[in-house]
Amino acid sequence: MSKPIRIGIIGAGGIARGAHIPSYQSYGRDVEVVSVSNHNKEKAVECAEQFSIPHAYENEQQMLDEMDLDAVSICTPNKFHAAQAIAALKAGCHVLCEKPPAMTAEEAETMAWEAEKAGRILTYGFHFRFQPEVESLKKYIDGHELGEIYAAKTHYNRRRGIPGWGVFTNKELQGGGTLIDNGVHMLDTALYLMGYPKPKTVLGATYQKIGHRPGVGLMGEWDDENFSVEDMARGMITFENGSSLMFESTFAANIEELSSKKVSIVGDQGGAELFPLKIFQEKYDTLVDTTPAYVEKRDVHESLVHDFIECMLHDKQPVSTPSEGVLIQQIIQALYESAKTGEAVNI
């Protein structure tokens, strides 16, 4: 039997403990999480003990130098994604980096370039792609059931869903708020279903109207005094192929629903909505709607990690690619720039 794939974890917080580590450990004997690193050593040690991981580090470079790893998961605040991914790629590791890819488009480009140079996998934590309904709609789209896709719309809104833990409200460490945190998931899902067209022009607006004052926290009590990110982001993106996408996300806003997310895709042969999945078509002179009779329930974080492992074991390309990481980061950057200047940004 061949040796198990040796995994290292960088960042021992919520997503590492809640998703990545248990998902590697549930895969079976082909994989072993051998080390964890966190800039706060106590956290690394605590995490290692919690999951029976043999080695704990406070410095990820030392871990990369000493542990002979095959792959790492990067589960740190966004500010550190690029440098840590590049260090891991240079050490010969495959990399699963949490979303968003980075803080800037330039960082995402360098990450993509380093992955290419190293001949290693670089993929991102866009787990919504593993939702059965998203997979199903992608098959409809690839089967030309919607025809030419020319318009899309997406939102991921929370009424009072500012995270009360971590550093999600710290602009310096995260690069932004709702757009780069929850919004980015729906932005990626819409772009994925549209075939990741090349963006052309981006018009954005961001607001900070609620997070800087105390209020009802449905995702814990947030730190209103140090709230330095946007609580609402909106935008319109046009693409070189003529298609367009409207986007909105909120951490907090005075809206009816406590939490709501949707992706709408419009093609010349059919349209579709997620979540839940509905398909709208005209067939045999009849306007018809299609809905699934059954949708599998799945732990999509586990699916993402298991797919990463399968890609390493069987030399496959992951569903989320470095070049898509560059495109989404270009859009995020342009949305923030446009929001700042009030002008549309050409990419």
Ligand X SMILES: NC(=O)c1ccc[n+]([C@@H]2O[C@H](COP(=O)([O-])OP(=O)(O)OC[C@H]3O[C@@H](n4cnc5c(N)ncnc54)[C@H](O)[C@@H]3O)[C@@H](O)[C@H]2O)c1
Least separation, in Å, of the C-beta of 208 and ligand X? Answer: 19
Closer residue to ligand X in complex, CB, 134/279? 134
Segment interacting with ligand X, rule: CB under 6 A, options 10-18, 102-110, 251-259, 333-341: 10-18
* 318 in Cβ contact with 189 (< 8 Å): no
Q: How far is the CB of 60 from ligand X (least distance, A)?
A: 6
| Gap between the Cα atoms of 200 and 211, Å rounded | 32
Near ligand X by CB under 6 A: residue from 69, 111, 114, 125: 125
Cα→Cα distances 332→127, 177, 185, 329, Å: 18, 11, 12, 5
* In 180-274, beta strands by DSSP E: 199-207, 232-239, 244-250, 259-267, 270-274
Whether the Cβ atoms of residue 346 and residue 330 lie closer than 8 Å to each other: no
Helices 105-118 and 322-341, axial angle in degrees (round to 10): 170
Helical packing angle, 184-194 and 132-142, nearest 10°? 30
Residue 17 vs 267, nearer CB to ligand X? 17
**Look-up of token digits 């790629």:** 89
Q: Does 103 bind ligand X (CB under 6 A)?
A: no
Positions in 180-199 near ligand X (CB under 6 A): 181
Q: Is 250 in the site for ligand X (CB under 6 A)?
A: no
Residue 12 vs 21, nearer CB to ligand X: 12
> Exactly one of 7, 10, 137, 328 binds ligand X (CB under 6 A); which one?
10
123 binds ligand X (CB under 6 A): no
Q: Does 12 engage in binding with ligand X (CB under 6 A)?
A: yes
Is 11 a binding residue for ligand X by CB under 6 A? The answer is yes
Q: Which is nearer to ligand X, 128 or 239 (CB)?
A: 128
Q: How far is the CB of 314 from ligand X (least distance, A)?
A: 24
User: Comparing C-alpha atoms, which of 197, 112, 180 is closest to residue 334?
Assistant: 180
Residue with Cβ nearer ligand X (23 or 281) = 23
Give me the residues paired with residue 286 across strands: 283
Residue 15 as a binder of ligand X (CB under 6 A): the answer is yes
Backbone angles phi, psi at 31, to 5 degrees: -135, 140
Query: Which residues are paired to 282 by β-bridges?
Result: 287
Taking CB positions, which residue lies at the least distance from ligand X?
13
Measured distance CA(20)–CA(37) in Å, rounded: 14
> Could you give the string, one character per residue 140-179, with x where binding to ligand X holds by CB under 6 A and - elsewhere?
--------------------------xx------------
> Any contact of residue 43 with ligand X (CB under 6 A)?
yes
Does 307 help bind ligand X (rule: CB under 6 A)?
A: no
For the bound state, the minimum distance from the C-beta of residue 148 to ligand X, rounded and expressed in Å, comes to: 31
Cβ proximity to ligand X, 26 vs 40, nearer residue: 40
Give the x/- contact pattern for ligand X in 61-90, rule: CB under 6 A. --------------xxxx-x----------
Q: Which amino acid is at 118?
A: A
How far apart are CB 133 and ligand X at their closest, in Å? 17
Burial 28-56 (b: 16+ CB within 10 A, else e): eeebbbbbbbbeeeebbbbbbeebebeeb
Pairing mode, strands 149-158 and 122-124: unpaired
The nearest distance, CB 8 to ligand X, in angstroms, is 12
User: Cβ 226 to ligand X, closest distance in Å?
Assistant: 14
Count residues binding ligand X (CB under 6 A): 23
Query: For residue 162, which amino acid is it?
Result: I
**Using CA of residue 217, residue 221, residue 224, residue 228, what is the dihedral sign?**
negative
Site for ligand X contains 13 (CB under 6 A): yes
Binding site for ligand X (CB under 6 A): 10-16, 38-40, 43, 75-78, 80, 98-99, 125, 127, 166-167, 181
